[in-house]
């Protein structure tokens, strides 16, 4: 069938052509950040590894492909290139996006609760367990005369069952 063969050739040619024309999925628009001084480039690399993408889940802006991370990298690049120090860049990002943007947040009341809270809960739980165990040990149960007779009967029945 010449019609089927022609259709197959056209389809294959079309698929190959579209594959070659289209942009491959693995080719990303990689930003190139150039610095005149290697010290500034080192500070830039440190910063993009230390700053967290506010949009992503626990990714640095160096690792994230989000548009916001790209904007933060660009802003960091411009600030470092214009002479800003590492701390100035961090202060700018924290002022704009909050403490979450920095992997090493400052020690505040909120962060200290996060650090010491689990230990406090464990200590309180341990104290509660100790108090409960001690109160159970110290409290003796007084049996009524009827309960004592019933207990004696049960013990006799148990001994008879053990002998058999």
% of the chain at pLDDT higher than 70: 87
Residue linked to tokens 């058999």: 164
Per-residue buried b or exposed e for 119-135, using 16+ beta carbons within 10 Å of the residue's own CB: eeeeeeeeeeeeeeeee
pTM: 0.54
Please give the pLDDT value at position 100.
83
- The closest alpha carbon to 57, from 100, 23, 20, 15, belongs to 100
Structural domains of the chain sorted by starting position, each given as residue range(s) with its CATH number in brackets: 30-101 (1.10.8.640), 109-163 (no CATH)
Q: What percent of the chain has pLDDT over 90?
A: 37
Tens digits of residue pLDDT in 13-61: 877 766 766 555 444 555 778 888 899 999 999 999 999 998 887 888 9
Which residue numbers in the chain have pLDDT < 50? 25-27
In the prediction, which pLDDT does 27 show? 45
Let me know the angle formed at the C-alpha of 144 by 143 and 146, rounded to the nearest 5 degrees.
120
């Amino acid at each position: 069938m010449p019609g089927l063969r022609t259709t197959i050739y056209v389809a294959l040619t079309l698929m190959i052509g579209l594959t070659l024309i289209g942009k491959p999925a693995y080719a990303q628009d990689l930003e190139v950040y150039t610095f005149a001084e290697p010290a500034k480039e080192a500070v830039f690399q440190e910063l993009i590894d230390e700053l967290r993408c506010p949009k992503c889940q626990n990714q640095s802006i160096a690792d994230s492909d989000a548009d916001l991370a790209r904007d933060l990298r660009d802003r960091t690049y411009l600030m470092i290139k214009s002479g800003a120090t590492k701390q100035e860049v961090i202060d700018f990002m924290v002022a704009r996006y909050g403490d979450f943007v920095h992997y090493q947040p400052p020690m505040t009341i909120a962060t200290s609760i996060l650090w010491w809270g689990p230990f406090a809960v464990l200590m309180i739980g341990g104290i509660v367990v100790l108090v409960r165990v001690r109160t159970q040990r110290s409290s003796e149960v007084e049996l009524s005369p009827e309960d004592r007779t019933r207990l004696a009967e049960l013990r006799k029945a148990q001994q008879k069952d053990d002998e058999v």
